[in-house]
Structure 1
Amino acid sequence: MDSVSNLLESIEGVGRDTVRGGYSRPVFSPAELDLRSWFEQEARRRGLDIETDRNGILWAWWDVDGADRNDGGTRDGALVTGSHLDSVPGGGAFDGPLGVAAALAAVDLLKERGVQPQRALAVTVFPEEEGSRFGVACLGSRLLTGAIDPDTARNLKDPDGVTFAEAARANGLDPAHLGRDDEALRRIGDFVELHVEQGRGLIDLDSAIAVGTSIIGHGRWKLTISGQGNHAGTTLMEDRADPMVAAAQVILAIRKTAAATPEARATVGRLQPIPGGTNVIASRVELWIDIRHPDDATTASLVESIHGQAQKAAAFEGCTAALTRESVSGTVTFDGELQRQLQLAIPGAPGLPTGAGHDAGILAAHAPSAMLYVRNPTGISHSPEEHVENDDADYGAVALADALERLL
């Protein structure tokens, strides 16, 4: 069998970002497409049956012995595992690919153990989990479950103005068929996603692996501050309506508001002045806000407060501010019985909540879902400094195989 570390080494050159460091693998980019091809090749090496559904999700099937592959009903209620292969800009090597590589290695282990599945097993790859190209996290699983309107998804645009519909069509999907897929949903009897831990819970617990308990509620909002574009050299300071100044005040207000709210997180990780010239007063500034809190009502209150402060800051500078919601996911508690089964399969594994979103959190409203986290000794994620020791990565595959064997 291939170790997880060997599988990851085979793709370590794909999508390296020489400017930011780490990896940039946005959905449907050459790097992400290369990784999808790598996954298909590895799945076929293991005798798995590959298909791409109408939302661009990859499925690699290990069917029950004797089942007719043309009879889709034999896959209903399957045990499903997997993760994603896309990344944030300049992300780490493990966020997403670790879960996919561990799932492939777990299949190897199950085959070595002589396991004969009593129900179908699938390894999946979800597209656009990070939302780094089209702005909506977990877009593939949202489309699958109907959590996003297909027209909204089709009209999403990347920074170059390419719509998701155009990108999907260019990669063999029919944009008219994007959206909720009840046939595919019927196939998910249980979903278990393994992922690198994106914090330092396991370091403090001195454990290599944990069972996920919950994902705190989170969302993304776009704030547009509009002013008057003008010449940087000829416009007196008192004559300006500068949206960049208002944006700076808003960013500080966001930090202060979140810091004053226990358990809240609020981040501005992306800001775009338009037109963006050094000697130009911007006509507008667009910034994206990520807000998270375990209590959904508190999240809504934070958004309302930030919006109000943005309007005041903009008005003070002679500008206007408009806030639009891009995506929101409420707090998710994973299936209790599935958590119990995982803890029985992996004795001593602690339970761990997370502030990071995952496809498992979207699927949880439609099928019993759970997560396993593998220790990240740096405690850093969405950064080149994200790390997993080889022994922990391989142990994660063993733990996943133990869990899948129990569930099969």
Structure 2
Amino acid sequence: MTRDTVVSLLDEIARIGRDQRRGGYSRPVYSAAELELREWFVGQAERRGLDVDIDGNGVIRAWWHVPSRSTAGAVVTGSHLDSVPGGGAYDGPLGVASALIAIDHLRSRGVEPTKPIVVAVFPEEEGSRFGVACLGSRLLTGAISPERALALRDVEGDTFAEVLARNGVDPRGVGPDPAGLGAIDAFVELHVEQGRALVDLDRPVAIGSSILGHGRWRVSIRGEGNHAGTTLMQDRRDPLVAAARMITEIRTIGRATPDARATVGRVLPLPGATNVIASSVDFWIDVRHPDDVVTAAIVAGITERLSLIAAEEGCMAAITEESFSATTDFDPFLRGRLEEMLPDAPVLGTGAGHDAGVLASHVPTAMLFVRNPTGVSHSPEEYAEDADAEAGAVALADVLEGLAVGVGTT
């Protein structure tokens, strides 16, 4: 049988979830595409003789047990299979495919781990269906309450609880799992680079140092829907005009703060007809900064301006936090061990959020990044060279071997 590679595994799923309108891939959690990917992962894990289970939060876990079949002291790797709308082929699946190939490398080396190695697939990492990024890991760690999570609704009006139940996950089992977290000795997530630092450094793989603090806020503007042909300009209370002014102001505020990022990437007017003045508009703000105090100040400044603009346009506006992750520094001892095992790998921070950032406050956590020559992510232009993808899997295998055969991480 031909030996699998990272590239061959990604080729197997290249047809799943292609977005003909946006380009790239649209694989929202528990969609037909993401379910097919989950089935593909289970099949790949079982081919390798791994024991597969699904925890109460819908996290798929594929176990390579030690002879005692203990679950304690597990070394966990993996990523996610869901995507943003029109996303690239590597964000998430690269980490999953690399984890499977890393296990192949370890077996070909004759490695006998003394700790269980687990490949995990986390649901709703992107938050593209229910609006909260890293939802699976947030539930696992207690960063979001089960009550709030289960009540979240997608654009079709279905709650997270309803979607879980339809896909065989009992909503009553959702929530924190202290015992499961306590059994994890280390979590190492491999991810495609979301930027282009490694091109300039001429290195295929980097070690993560930190994740920029970031959050998402939903702005809801209410005006007055009316006829586009019969309503005089001076008589309008147009929430879409208010939203347009607000979006420009958000960019101005973001530019005025060094190292800040402030983005509006999704706008939803209702009813959304060409000849109708909208009655309401929702849009979402993504704000990021290394200093969480500054992030809060940026959001406060945006909130103040939103209220003024809405009043000037005869509308009402409200802003609601949907998720927030503080700036995260990965475990220094674990990172030091990775630096010893991968001496040629530079250490880089990232502005993108990951499940590793959510888990970091509960278990020793680290990340590896694989070079992205385009520097583009969350887009069809996202890319990794075949040789770099394979180099990432080898680096991950080296790390897993050092952690699962060596001494403890803490």
**After the TM superposition, which residues 230-269 of structure 1 pair with which residues of structure 2 at under 5 Å, given as runs?**
230-269=226-265
Q: Secondary structure at the match of 2:214?
A: strand
Residue 371 of structure 2 is aligned to residue 375 of structure 1: yes
Correspondent of 1:109 among 105, 128, 146: 105
**TM-superposed deviation, 1:200:** 1.0
Rounded Cα–Cα distance in structure 2 between residues aligned with 1:216 and 1:388: 23
- Residue 183 of structure 1 deviates from its aligned partner by 2.5
Q: What's the counterpart of residue 14 of structure 1?
A: 16
| 1:207 alignment partner, one of 203, 209, 220 | 203
SS in 2 for 1:36: helix
Q: Please list every run of at least 4 consecutive aligned residues from structure 1 whose deviation after the TM superposition is greater than 2 angstroms.
A: none
Query: Offset of 1:186 from its aligned partner?
Result: 1.9
Match of 1:30 in 2: 32
Could you tell me which residue of structure 2 aligns to residue 282 of structure 1? 278
Query: Using the alignment, how far apart are the partners of 2:33 and 2:340 within structure 1?
Result: 38
Tell me the residue number matched to 2:380: 384
Please state if 1:160 is matched with 2:159: no
**Number of residue-to-residue matches in the alignment:** 402
TM-superposition CA deviations, 1:352-385 (whole Å, max 9, x none): 0000000000000000000000000000000000
Equivalent positions of 1:53-202 (< 5 A) are 53-65=55-67, 67-68=68-69, 74-202=70-198
The one of 316, 319, 324 equivalent to 2:315 is 319
- Report the CA distance between 1:43 and its aligned residue: 0.5
Q: Does 1:366 align with 2:362?
A: yes
TM-score (norm 1): 0.98
Deviations 1:82-134 (A, max 9, x none): 00000000000000000000000000000011111111110000000000000
1:264-299 CA deviation, whole Å, 9 max, x = no partner?
001000000011111111111100000000000000
Write the letter of the residue equivalent to 1:306. Answer: I
Q: Distance in 2 between matches of 1:402 and 1:197?
A: 19
Q: Deviations over 1:179-204 (max 9, x none)?
A: 10122212211000000001111112
Structure 2 residue runs of 5 or longer lacking an equivalent are: 405-410
Alpha-carbon distance between aligned partners in 2 of 1:321 and 1:304, rounded to the nearest angstrom: 14
Give the AA of the match of 1:262.
P
- Give me the whole-angstrom Cα distance separating, in 2, the residues matched to 1:336 and 1:244: 47
Deviations 1:6-25 (A, max 9, x none): 11001100100011000000
Q: How many Å apart are 1:206 and its aligned residue?
A: 1.4
Deviations 1:241-261 (A, max 9, x none): 111111000000000100110
Q: CA deviation at 1:311?
A: 0.7
C-alpha RMSD over aligned residues: 0.7
From 344, 347, 353, the equivalent of 1:348 is: 344
Secondary structure of 2:9 counterpart: helix
Q: Deviations over 1:167-223 (max 9, x none)?
A: 000011111221101222122110000000011111121111100000010000000
Name the aligned partner's letter for residue 126 of structure 1.
Answer: F
For 1:75, what is the secondary structure of its paired residue? coil
Equivalent position to 1:338, from 310, 334, 352: 334
Partner AA of 1:26 in structure 2: P
Q: Distance in 2 between matches of 1:171 and 1:286?
A: 29
How far, CA to CA, are the matches of 2:324 and 2:274 in structure 1?
A: 35
Q: What CA distance in whole angstroms lies between the structure 2 residues aligned with 1:156 and 1:50? A: 28
1:117-159 Cα deviation digits (max 9, x unpaired) = 1111100000000000000000000000000010100000001
